[in-house]
Amino acid sequence: MNISEQELQIFSRHLILKEFNEKSFNNLQKKKITIVGLGGIGCPAAQYLVAAGIKILKLIDGDLIQKTNLNRQILYSIYDIGKSKAKTAKKKLLGTNPECKIDTISTHLDSKNINKYLYNSSLVIEATDNWKSMILINQYCVNQSIPLISSSTVGFDSQITLFNNLPTNHLCLQCIFPNKKEPNLSRCDSVGVLGTATGIAGLIVVQKTINFFLEKRLDNIMTMVNVKTLKIDNLKIKKNVKCQYLNKNN
pLDDT digits (tens, 9 = 90+) for 55-73: 999 999 999 999 999 999 9
d(CA 245, CA 18): 39
CA-CA distance, 159 to 200, in Å (whole number)? 10
pLDDT reported for residue 100: 96
Residue 4 has pLDDT above 90, yes or no: no
Determine the average pLDDT of the residues in 5-22: 91
pTM: 0.93
pLDDT confidence band for 249 (50 / 70 / 90): very low
| 153: phi then psi, degrees, rounded to nearest 5 | -140, 140
Residues across the chain: 250
Residues 17-62 have pLDDT tens digits of 998 888 899 999 999 999 999 999 999 999 999 999 999 999 999 9
Structure confidence at residue 180 (pLDDT): 67
Q: What's residue 168's pLDDT?
A: 85
Structural domains in the chain plus CATH codes: 31-236 (3.40.50.720)
Rounded to an integer, what distance in angstroms lies between the CA atom of residue 127 and that of residue 199?
12
Element (H, E) at 135: helix 131-144
Q: Indicate if the pLDDT at residue 205 is higher than 80.
A: yes
Question: CB-based contacts of 61: which residues, under 8 Å, 6+ apart?
Answer: 36, 37, 38, 39, 42, 84, 85, 86, 89, 105, 106, 108
CA neighbours within 13 Å on the CB side: how many for 55? 15
- The rounded distance, in Å, linking the Cα atoms of 53 and 48 is 9
Q: What's the average model confidence in pLDDT over 215-236?
A: 91
